[in-house]
Chains A and B, each alone.
Chain A
Amino acid sequence: MKAGVMALTVLKNLIKGPYTSRYPYAPAKVSPATRGYLDVTIEDCIFCGLCRMHCPADAIEVNKTERTWTINRFRCVICGCCVDYCPKKCLHCEQSYTVPGTEPVIAQYTGPVPEEKPVQPGESSA
C-alpha cells in the first residue's frame, strides 16, 4: 500500500500537454474504413428497393415511379447492410459525420429521368 503512486503520471501529463484535439477547429480523426454517413450515387441507382428491404432500422424509402431515394438520417445506424446488398454498388459510407441536430433530417435524392431508348426497326413506338 503506497501513497503518491500516481505522481509520476501526473508529472508526465503536466509536461506533455493535452491529449485531446480541438475539434471542431482541428479535423476529427478518421480512417479510410470509417463509416460516417450513408451516401448514394443517385445516377447509378435502379430503385430496386433491396436497401429498403434489408435496412435493420427502416431508415430508407425507395419510390420507383417517382425515382426518389429517401433516407431518414436520424433512424440510420450506419451499419452498412444496404451497401452490401446494393446490386449497382451505388451506396457507400462517407468518412465524415453528419452535423448534430434537434429535428429529424430526411434527405431525398431524385434520380435523373432515363433516356428513352431509341426505337428499333420493327418495334412500334407506342
Chain B
Amino acid sequence: MSKQIVLPFGPQHPVLPEPIHLDLVLEDERVIEAVPSIGYVHRGLEKLVEKRDYKDYVFIAERICGICSFIHSATYCHAVETVMEVEVPRRAEYLRTIWSEYSRLHSHLLWLGCFADSMGYENLFMNSWRLREKILDVLERTTGGRVIQGVCRVGGVSRDIPPEELARMSRELAGLRPELRELTRVFEEDITVQTRTKRIGLLPKDAAWDLGAVGPVCRGSGISSDMRSTGYAAYDDLDFKPVVKSDGDCYARCLVRAEEMFSSISLIEKAIDRIPGGDVLVPVKGNPSGEFYARAEQPRGEVIHYVKANGKKNLQRHRVRTPTLANVPALVKMLAGCELADVPVIVLTIDPCIGCMER
C-alpha cells in the first residue's frame, strides 16, 4: 500500500473564484477522501436584519451573492410579503420571473466559462463570457445594474419594462439562441470536454437523494427537483418543465446547465408574451409579524429564505440556506476515488458560490 499524504486544495487556487479549503487525502495520485472547511468570507449579513428596516434590508439580501443576487432579493421579498399578506401585482411577479431567468442565463454562462477554464479550454471560456455580456447589457438597460439589479421591493418591483423594450428583448433573445446553440454544441460534442468530464465525479441517484443535493447537481443524477415547478412568482403560468439527465457525472451536470439556458430563454419569451398590464408596486404599510420559509430555484439549486418578525420594523431572524451548502456533502462523495487532476473539474461542477454559502 502506498503512503497517504494530505494535499491542501484552496482557499487560494487558480480554479477557485472564491475561497473554500479542501484537505485531499491522496494515495499516489488518487483522492481517498476530501475534508472541506469553510469560513473564509463570512460577512454576518443575516445579523444585520436586526439593525435595518425590513424594507431597506432587501438591498442587503441582494448582496448575499454577486451572481444570483436578484433571486435572493426576490425570495426575501416573497417571504416578507407572505408574512404581511401583501398581494403583489401580477405584472411585478412576471417581471421578477423575467429578471430571475436573465440572472440564471448569465450565471450559467459564467459557470460554463469557468468550467471550460478549469479544464484548460481558454477559448471556450472567453466565448462563454462574451455571450454573457449581452445578457448583462439587457439587465443594465432594464434595471440599472449589471449584476446587482436593485429593483426588488417589498410589494413588487421599482421599475417597469415598457412594451417596446420587451419587444426588443424578445428580438435579441431570438438572435441569441443560435449563438448559444453554437457554444453549447462545443460542450456537447468536443472531444476535449468529453474526455475531461464523462464518467468523472459520479454521483448516483440514491446518493444524490440521501445527501440532499439540489439544483443541477441532483438533476444531473436523475432527480427531477426544481423549485420552479412549485409555481412561485409567474412560473405557474409558464408551463415549466425541469431539465433532467441521468448519468450523474460531470458531463451530465454540464449538459443540464447548457439545456437550462434554452429553457430560460423559452420562459422569458413566454413571460414577455403573456405579461399582463397594471401596476408593478403596491404600497406596503405597517410591520410584519409571523414567520415564513420561502423557497426558490437559483442557478445553483434550491435556496431557502426564512424570516421571523414580531411586529417591529426590524425582523427578528433571517436565515438563508444556500444551494452550495447543500451540495458540499455531494461534492465530498464525488471526490472520493477520483484522480487529483480531475479535482478542479469536479469542484466546479457543483458551481460553488462561497460568498452565498457563508454570507
Contacts and interface: CB of A to CB of B under 8 A. Distances in A.
A1 interface: yes
Contacts of A19: 130, 133
A1 B60 contact: no
Nearest to A5: B190
Interface stretch (B30-38, B50-58, B218-226, B320-328): B50-58
Given A9-B182, A84-B158, A79 B142 contact: no
B194 A33 contact: no
B190 A6 contact: yes
B186 interface: yes
Contacts, number: 67
B123 A77 contact: no
Nearest to A12: B182
Interface residues of A, number: 25
Nearest to B188: A5
Contacts of B62: 79
Majority secondary structure of chain B interface residues (helix, strand, loop or mixed): helix
A117 interface: no
Contacts of B63: 77
Contacts of A73: none
Contacts of B195: 1
Interface residues on B, range: 20 to 34
B204 interface: no
A19 B158 CA distance: 33
Given A3-B191, A35-B144, A80-B144, A54 B137 contact: no
Nearest to A93: B144
Interface of B: 52-53, 56-57, 59-60, 62-63, 123-124, 127, 130, 133, 137, 140-145, 148, 150, 158-159, 182-183, 185-186, 189-191, 194-195
18 contacts: A5-B185, A6-B124, A6-B186, A9-B123, A9-B127, A31-B137, A31-B144, A33-B141, A33-B144, A33-B159, A35-B144, A56-B56, A56-B59, A79-B62, A79-B150, A80-B150, A81-B56, A84-B158
